[in-house]
Structures are given as C-alpha cells and as structure tokens.
A and B are shown apart, each in its own frame.
Chain A
C-alpha cells in the first residue's frame, strides 16, 4: 500500500475536485445561505425543497454528500434518508442532518434512519465545514476500499476462469490413460493438478500395466508445470516398451533441468506384469507401498529406496528397480502422504496405523478400497479436505482385461529371436573395478531389442552375480542380512573382503536361442568358490526371508528353469520371452 505521504496527496486531489452536495431544506433562506457558503468552498451545490424531491434528485444523479433537514412537507428527512440509503448500491453517500431539534431522541432518530452525523441549527459554519470535510474523507477511503475489493474479486474471478482453462489444457496432456481399467480403483482430487498430485496409468506393448503416482512439492502453477513433461515422458516411453528404470531416469533428468532447487516430485512407478506375475517398483519420497493378499492381510510393505525425482543429477541418480514376485489376488496400494497426513477438526492426523488397520484379512477384499476411503472420511469427519488425497488400488490378477493391450502388440521393438552367445570372465582385479551387469544387460538389449524385459533380466543377472561374488568368492553368510544390524555389518565386511581379494574369478556365459516363437536366454555363472550343498537350496527356500528376501524365490518366478550344478559354484537359469510380432 501507499505511504502516509501519498495518502495525503491523494486526499488533496480528492478535495480539489468539484464535489457535489445536495442541500435539502424546505426553507428557501436556509438553502440560499448554505449554497452561498459552500459554493465559496468550491463545492457544486444542488437543492431539494422536501424529502421526495431529494429522493428523486438522487435517482437522477447521486451527490457526494447530502445535508438533510428533518421536518419538511411531503416527506420528512428521516424517510428520505431511509429511501436514499436503501437505494444506494455500491456508493457511500454520507448524510448529515441539520436540524432545529435538539432533544436526544430526535437526534438519535437521525442516526437510526441511516444518517451519518448531525448538527443542530443554528450551526457554526466552521464546524459544519469540518464535518463535511471529515465525511468526504470517510467517503473517499470507503470508495478506495470498494474499488480494491472490486479489483480483488475481478482478479479472483479471472483466476478461477484461467484455472478452468488451464485444467482443460492440462487434462489433455496429463490424462488418466488406462486408469479406468477394471482392475484399478483410484481417487484423486479433480483439481489435483494444482495440488501437485498426479496419477498416470498405461499398458506397455508386452501387456504390463504401468502406474505412476507423483506428488510435487508446493501447490499451484509451479507444481502443475512439472506435471506436463512427466506425463509426456511416461506415456511416450511406456507405449514404446521402455522399462521403469529407463522411464524414471528420463523423468528425473528432465525435472532436474526444469525445477528450481528445493522443488521436487516424490513418486512411485510400478509395473505389474501379468505374464511373469511380478511387480517392479521404483519409489522415492512417498509412503510405503502396501501389498495385500486376502488370506494374509498386509503381505509386504515396500519402502521407498530413492531420493525423490528432480533432485539428483543424472550421473548420481539411482535408476535401479526392486522386483517382487506376486500371488494371484494380490492387491497393490499406492497413496500420497496426504492420506497419512489427513487432519481432523481436532488437528489429529489419520496416520499410518489407522490406514494399516483397514487392511484386515477378514474384510471383503472387493470393498477394501471403499473401506480405506470410508475410514479416512469418518476420521476427518466433515473437515472439508480430501483434496490432497490420492490413492490407487491395483488388483493383480493374470486374468485381467487384456483387450487394451492387443492394439499395442504390433508396436513391440523386440527383434525376431536370434542365436548368439557372449562370455565375460572377470578375475580378482576386474571384480574390484568393473560392474559387469549394465554391460551385459545393454548388450542383450542391443542385440534383441527386448527392452520391456530389461528390469527382469537385470534382476536375474544381478541376483546370480551377487550370489557368486558375495557368497561364492567373498564367503559372506546371507543369514547376516536377516537383521538390520547384520545388514550393515554384511556390507562393511563385503567391502573389506573385496579389497583384500587377490585370487578368484567369475565367469559369465550368456547364450540366446530361438525356440519356436520364443527367445531363450540361458545364463550360466560359475565362480571360483568352493560351492555349497545345494540339494537343500534347490528345494527349501524357507530361510530366505527378511532383508535377503527376494533372492532365489524371485529368480524362480521369473525364470523357466533354474538350478545349481557342479559343487554348487555353478548356476544356470533360463529366461524365456515370447516374440509377439
């Protein structure tokens, strides 16, 4: 707002204008006296001889101020005041009563009728001038205020209009994709884009369902701007068959470029593959992903393992994806922290434990999503905020509606299965320096173009290679990883043993064959370790839980065949893929 000085000067301008005063009096002499007195002050004077004339005059042109007599023929000053005050829409017309009456009741009646001030006749001209001036000053500040109020409300209307247009624009780009699939239930605020929440879903050429939940820091335009490239990258890359790792890498790189430091996007990307009955997930900055099974309740909670999107430079960004085997009827729940942090009127938070309680194994799984929403809305009870609530349920049945994927199949980038093999032998020095996994994965991708299988193949290779190196050569015990402390100890010891390694090798042999209309990738890994009694291992996986949980059971889910051989220092896994052109 303006400073004191400029307020004063505004008022001076205001005083200099020819302000109009309506003098209402049935006594002609009184009117003449006032007219003469006030004209000399520079005011523009008009006259009315009774209340009715005053009302009529105001209907024609509204004066800046009215001097009103009380007792007049036709219509008295009280009634005229009531009518004039009732007619004014958004202007403030100050009315000062000039009256011969001096009793308290009559004077009070002036104010009751709507008068703003009063002065008894005979009046002191200096006091009258001062009162007029004071009233006009009041009127001025009122009109300034009114003008600002109008501007604000116009601005708000305009903003609302712009938001509607923007929403339409955004929803063309950040569209809901395959969210209407029968195996998906979700909730997201209609104005979510301006809350910074986004939910995207699409099927890949191979028939996997990709879902992304994103939650930008901040609200409004700055959050919405980030949603545009994320959506474009997501839909574009999923349709081309890229894997989650590739997609998050790209999204992160773009957001890092466009978002100022301090703004970022927490999110999770999930791929549900009905063919391999597995999920792959990358998440950072969002609450744990819940996997529910009707017979077990909450079967798994997947913690976010990454820094949110848009913070790290591409060269330090971690694109690695976690992969888990799924059971028939598993349901996956992704939700924004708005669910956990939903507040009730008393200021309490909904919280993780209230959410977890919804996932009772005795409850009807078909209404679980509704149970969660019901529990949430009971908790916030009327406090009107479910705006930040974004939540999605994915029912992971192999038998879900595949119609949508048919049209994509022809777009797969995989090449016809070919016959080839590669081998990579790493000695102790190479094992310290080289990570062979990206090199091998990349080579397989270059030759066969099966990018939609990338994460699965990488996961199989990574598990087998780390078993060979960690257990076979470095002699670490996987049981260590079953406790949180042991987990840390495991990695300290691993680093130490690797540094001291002078002898040993890992031989990786990859062969690819075309079998009918399928590609068969045989992965054979041999290490220089002494091996182990694998007869138990090949059958009993029960100890493989907790921190070392995924390991071998996952490989068995992903691969057609898997077995240890030799002294247990060799392993063969066969990964199969179908050529769908």
Chain B
C-alpha cells in the first residue's frame, strides 16, 4: 500500500510512500475521490516525484474546486521541492 488516506477533522490527509509516479495514479485517485473539504498531501515518506505526479496533483486540485481549492503539500524534501518550484506549483498549492 503506497498511498494512504486518513481523515483529520475536515482535512483529508493523503500520504504517499516511496515513488510518486504513474504507477500509483489509481491509488492516489481512490484516496481523494469521495472526499471533500481541505486536503493535505504528506510527502514525508515520498522519495521521488515525476511529471505525472504533478499531473495527479492538478487532478486533485480540480477535484477540490480548482482555484478555490485548499491543498497543502507538506514535508517535501529538497529534491521534491525543487521539482515543484520549477513548475511554480507554489502559486497553486500551499507547499511546506
């Protein structure tokens, strides 16, 4: 199980363990479908993300209301933060 979802108040926390790439897209989608409110993507145990992960984050953002979405991406390591900022995702997500 490389994608885990848990509820914390009105927040849905999605945790990705290992590589965040196309192989987990179904699991990732299952984690947010049916949930609403605010989302937190916990990357404390994520080793790597690729461009398809960026696509999945955009899908989550759309699910959560597009420009009105509140999505926090937490515990990003330096590598991951770099990939997110190259695409200026800090303008669409709250990256910690």
A residues with CB within 8 A of B: 217-218, 261-264, 266, 284-287, 304-308, 311, 313, 316, 337
Report chain B residues within 8 Å CB of A305: 88
Report Cα–Cα, A337/B89, bound state, in Å.
Answer: 17
Given contacts A217-B55, A284-B88, A285-B86, 17 further A-B contacts (CB under 8 A): A217-B52, A218-B52, A261-B59, A261-B62, A262-B59, A263-B55, A284-B87, A286-B86, A287-B86, A304-B86, A304-B87, A307-B89, A307-B91, A307-B92, A311-B92, A313-B67, A337-B51
A262 to chain B, nearest CB (A): 3
Q: Does B69 contact A (CB under 8 A)?
A: no
Cβ contact within 8 Å between B52 and A307: no
Report Cα–Cα, A308/B91, bound state, in Å.
Answer: 12
Cβ contact within 8 Å between A266 and B51: yes
* Number of A-B contacts defined by CB within 8 Å: 46
Q: Which of B55, B56, B67, B87 contacts A307 (CB 8 A)?
A: B87
Q: Does B58 contact A (CB under 8 A)?
A: yes
Q: Does B54 contact A (CB under 8 A)?
A: yes
B residues with CB within 8 A of A: 51-52, 54-56, 58-59, 62, 67, 86-89, 91-92
**Nearest opposing residue in chain B for A308, CB measure:** B87
Report chain B residues within 8 Å CB of A311: 58, 92
The 8 A-B residue pairs with the shortest CB-CB distance, nearest first, are: A262-B55, A285-B87, A217-B51, A307-B88, A262-B59, A261-B62, A262-B58, A308-B87
**Nearest opposing residue in chain A for B83, CB measure:** A337
Report chain A residues within 8 Å CB of B89: 307
Report Cα–Cα, A261/B58, bound state, in Å.
Answer: 7
Interface of A, secondary structure class, is loop
Report chain A residues within 8 Å CB of B55: 217-218, 261-264
Report chain A residues within 8 Å CB of B91: 307
A17 to chain B, nearest CB (A): 42
Asked, given contacts A217-B52, A261-B59, whether A266 binds B87 with beta carbons under 8 Å apart, the answer is yes
Cβ contact within 8 Å between A306 and B59: no
Cβ contact within 8 Å between A264 and B58: yes
Report Cα–Cα, A285/B87, bound state, in Å.
Answer: 4
17 A-B pairs whose Cβ atoms sit less than 8 Å apart in the complex: A217-B54, A218-B52, A261-B55, A262-B55, A262-B59, A264-B54, A264-B55, A266-B86, A287-B86, A304-B88, A307-B87, A307-B89, A307-B91, A307-B92, A308-B87, A311-B58, A313-B67
Report Cα–Cα, A30/B88, bound state, in Å.
Answer: 84
A290 to chain B, nearest CB (A): 14
Report chain A residues within 8 Å CB of B86: 266, 285-287, 304
Report Cα–Cα, A286/B87, bound state, in Å.
Answer: 7
Cβ contact within 8 Å between A316 and B87: no
**Nearest opposing residue in chain A for B61, CB measure:** A261
**Nearest opposing residue in chain B for A310, CB measure:** B58
Report chain B residues within 8 Å CB of A306: 88
B25 to chain A, nearest CB (A): 9
Cβ contact within 8 Å between B67 and A316: yes
Report chain B residues within 8 Å CB of A217: 51-52, 54-55
A389 to chain B, nearest CB (A): 16
Report Cα–Cα, A266/B89, bound state, in Å.
Answer: 12
B55 to chain A, nearest CB (A): 3
Report chain B residues within 8 Å CB of A263: 55
A32 to chain B, nearest CB (A): 63
Report chain B residues within 8 Å CB of A266: 51, 86-87
Report chain A residues within 8 Å CB of B62: 261
Report chain A residues within 8 Å CB of B59: 261-262
Task: Tell which of B54, B56, B59, B62 has the most Cβ of chain A within 10 Å.
Answer: B54
**Nearest opposing residue in chain B for A316, CB measure:** B67
A158 to chain B, nearest CB (A): 26
Report Cα–Cα, A337/B86, bound state, in Å.
Answer: 11
Report chain B residues within 8 Å CB of A307: 87-89, 91-92
Task: Tell which of B54, B62, B67, B86 has the most Cβ of chain A within 10 Å.
Answer: B86
Report chain A residues within 8 Å CB of B87: 266, 284-285, 304, 307-308
A288 to chain B, nearest CB (A): 9
Report Cα–Cα, A525/B92, bound state, in Å.
Answer: 35
Report Cα–Cα, A307/B54, bound state, in Å.
Answer: 11
Cβ contact within 8 Å between B56 and A262: yes
Report chain B residues within 8 Å CB of A218: 52, 55
Report Cα–Cα, A291/B92, bound state, in Å.
Answer: 29
Report chain B residues within 8 Å CB of A287: 86
Report chain A residues within 8 Å CB of B58: 261-262, 264, 311
Report chain A residues within 8 Å CB of B67: 313, 316
